[in-house]
Structure 1
């Protein structure tokens, strides 16, 4: 399946559920799902405003994060960016949305990490130490480094999932997913994108660590080569391929500067 489908698709049959946006920008995130045959697909929109329509670009961030994880060699949920017509409350909107498949294997059930911690942690055990005890250390360390690079604002306890198969007695942590609230997500105009400080430390909803992605690097300080692969300047073309007619150039260039400069900062800790 291609990363970007630019030919307009008719997805007006999808029914959207409203998820209130927890950040400072007014609006909601809408999600939907569809089952064709035995395959279930999940869809989500960028930030939606009932008067202005789709005003955010979180779905594009999701694709960029997907590609960056591929470059770095980290297991993750893959997304497809789709140009589509959709219907919300009787109105038709033309937008780019994200689609992904279910990452659960047959027979698996999922539980959010925050619930898993509440039911299994030892008295006084930190969330990080609990994850280490469960065998999730490499995953969590990589997640902390990656979330710093993209300035992920929303790594809450339900955005990390544990997958269990009770019959086969298996347990694994889900591939990394949900990175839309990252990069320049707070910038809704070229002017705010131009003024954005790519190295700034913004308040983030981190389940593990503090509300600072920068401070969270202290958890993994001194650990080298967390990523199987390195990010190189030549990766810019792959990372941003096909987005030049979807996102303004100021956003594209600023996003690359942000990713590469923050990656270099992490690498030189």
Structure 2
């Protein structure tokens, strides 16, 4: 299960770089790296506004989805949520941030799936059919279902990566990662969360399929159920363990209702 570090950490030494949000939201997503004993660690913040500070909760979404993927037994990048002080442009902020280790193995390089597709696709081949030909159908089908359950707004072609080892002549698709821009990420408070339509089919930036996460379910072969485990009500306690106080009870309940009600729709298709 995704690890929470609740004791305040001093991470003011991290140097943050600006990654412009690709989801149309105001603000910036900031990233940093550190290296200890030859191991690289990646850090990222929720949405940051230079005037208001850290205004988003995308990092918490990463932990929720991490645990959801554990419940389903799906391979994914593992995150930890850290309570920390950080410094940006001379100002110190107290926040929760995400950290993860490099999923590349020694000797591997990475390339975004959209770039790999452009270099290797056959004429007229769809993104889905290309992945199917490469042997990644099970991965892509699972991703499509997950993105529907969490209403992932930002599964663009660089949020799916291909890992290559030129010396060993191996090629694999990276574990699922980057799920922050999902769930109730656009809701700034409890009132917005209560008024959010958890079953709405909002436009999403999908590399595979269309802008509709619901319509993308039609890409799945008939009678194919990529999720091999059943989501049950008691899984709520597992997914949200120790998140009380980090997000409100309203957010916890609305996010769970969103995931579970969408899961029931998927199961009854």
The normalised TM-score by structure 2 is 0.98
Rounded Cα–Cα distance in structure 2 between residues aligned with 1:205 and 1:23: 8
The normalised TM-score by structure 1 is 0.98
Rounded Cα–Cα distance in structure 2 between residues aligned with 1:224 and 1:136: 15
SS for the counterpart of 1:153 is coil
Rounded Cα–Cα distance in structure 1 between residues aligned with 2:223 and 2:94: 45
TM-fit CA distance, 1:26: 1.5
Equivalent residue number for residue 122 of structure 2: 122
Rounded Cα–Cα distance in structure 2 between residues aligned with 1:225 and 1:24: 32
SS for the counterpart of 1:164 is strand
TM-fit CA distance, 1:221: 5.5
Equivalent residue number for residue 205 of structure 1: 205
Rounded Cα–Cα distance in structure 2 between residues aligned with 1:223 and 1:174: 26
Equivalent residue number for residue 189 of structure 1: 189
Rounded Cα–Cα distance in structure 2 between residues aligned with 1:140 and 1:267: 18
Contact 2:67 2:239 in 1 (8 A): yes
> Quick check: 123-132 or 20-29, which moved more?
20-29
Structure 1 runs (4+) deviating above 4 angstroms are none
SS for the counterpart of 2:234 is helix
Rounded Cα–Cα distance in structure 1 between residues aligned with 2:73 and 2:223: 17
Equivalent residue number for residue 169 of structure 2: 169
Q: Structure 1 residues 24, 122: CA separation in 2 closer, same or farther (over 3 Å shift)? A: closer
TM-fit CA distance, 1:191: 1.0
Matches within 5 A, 1:91-102: 91-102=91-102
Contact 1:74 1:228 in 2 (8 A): no
TM-fit CA distance, 1:249: 1.0
Equivalent residue number for residue 216 of structure 2: 216
TM-fit CA distance, 1:77: 0.3
Rounded Cα–Cα distance in structure 1 between residues aligned with 2:2 and 2:141: 30
TM-fit CA distance, 1:189: 1.3
Equivalent residue number for residue 76 of structure 1: 76
TM-fit CA distance, 1:175: 0.2
Rounded Cα–Cα distance in structure 2 between residues aligned with 1:113 and 1:67: 25
The answer on 1:109 being equivalent to 2:109 is: yes
Rounded Cα–Cα distance in structure 2 between residues aligned with 1:216 and 1:194: 27
Q: Would you say how many aligned residue pairs link Structure 1 and Structure 2?
A: 269
> Quick check: 73-82 or 15-24, which moved more?
15-24
CA RMSD of aligned residues (A): 1.1
TM-fit CA distance, 1:2: 6.1
Rounded Cα–Cα distance in structure 2 between residues aligned with 1:221 and 1:255: 28
Q: Structure 1 residues 61, 2: CA separation in 2 closer, same or farther (over 3 Å shift)? A: closer
The answer on 1:257 being equivalent to 2:254 is: no
Rounded Cα–Cα distance in structure 1 between residues aligned with 2:205 and 2:224: 25
Equivalent residue number for residue 267 of structure 1: 267
Rounded Cα–Cα distance in structure 1 between residues aligned with 2:185 and 2:221: 27
